Amino acid sequence: MKDSRARIERITRVNAHTLHVDLAVEDDAVKLMKPGQSMLVRVGDMHGEQQLWTPYLREQWWMIGTVSRDVVRVELPFTAALQTGQTVQLLAPVGQPYRFRRNLGHVLLIAYNAMPSPLVTMVPSLLKNNVNLTLVLMGTARSYDTQTLPPEVEVIRADDAMEWDAMVRTISETDQTFIVVAQDDELMRFHEVLDVIQKRRPNIAENVLWGVFRPPLPCGVGACDACALRVKDGIKLVCVDGPAFDLTQVK
């Protein structure tokens, strides 16, 4: 992971909730980030431009695509206070790429009360490999604007009971499932989604059901242990070993 800089080239308002921000990046490591890896960002530059210290911790940004050779695109909440031309200081790449099974046929993505940006980052590469994708939006995630997604992605908006038509078939026929939830209490939210899934697909095998964890990351390099997660074989750090963990192994 390297400390580098980027410049905000363009800010596009997707809808009332979402922004797409194009970053001109200097470091090749950022351009080559794989799905699952992210960047820790602070607006401002240590070399002259005043840094913004609200929030105090660096923000975690997820790259959802590339615009050109030196420009990448990230997806942020509309509340982000940014301007074209600003410099951002970033640490990247953070974390490990998602662990996909071989010979994938269908991947299920679930966003529950959270923007699906950490999941959208894998869409281009999976479609390139002819993997069928279904995105299920639950809770507040149902307001997410999917018009920017490729038409090959099946989009389902669950009802208030976290159910949808052909739910059993969707859950039982998928090869892998990746879930992102609200950050207020991730373990509780993951448990709620896990309960919904296990009622339709009991005895889930390992390497099938993955939770994408997004706790605050003070350091991003495994030095502070603030993002420690208890799993069956010990303690893992989200910033180093994550962000995705097999939910059948998480305590």
* pLDDT tens digits along 37-72: 999 999 886 666 677 676 788 999 999 999 998 999
Residue-wise pLDDT tens digits, 186-231: 999 999 999 999 999 998 999 999 999 999 999 999 999 999 999 9
pLDDT of 239 > 70? The answer is yes
Q: Which residue spans of the chain are classified as CATH 2.40.30.10?
A: 2-94
Give the single-character DSSP code of 190.
Answer: H
Residue-wise pLDDT tens digits, 96-149: 999 999 999 999 999 999 999 999 999 999 999 999 999 999 999 999 999 999
Task: Give me the pLDDT at residue 43, please.
Answer: 87
Task: Give me the pLDDT at residue 47, please.
Answer: 65
pLDDT of 166 > 90? The answer is yes
| Whole-number percent of the chain with pLDDT over 90 | 82
How far is it, in rounded angstroms, from Cα 246 to Cα 242? Answer: 10
Domain 106-246 in CATH 3.40.50? The answer is yes
Task: Give me the pLDDT at residue 52, please.
Answer: 67
How far is it, in rounded angstroms, from Cα 238 to Cα 222? Answer: 8
Task: Give me the pLDDT at residue 119, please.
Answer: 98
Query: What value does the mean pLDDT take over residues 27-40?
Result: 93
Report CA torsion sign: 59, 188, 111, 139.
negative
Return the CATH superfamily for domain 2-94.
Translation factors (2.40.30.10)
Closest CA to 120 of 184, 59, 77, 65: 65
How far is it, in rounded angstroms, from Cα 2 to Cα 11? Answer: 25
In this prediction, residue 34 has a pLDDT band, given cuts at 50, 70 and 90, of very high
Task: Give me the pLDDT at residue 15, please.
Answer: 84
Task: Give me the pLDDT at residue 48, please.
Answer: 62
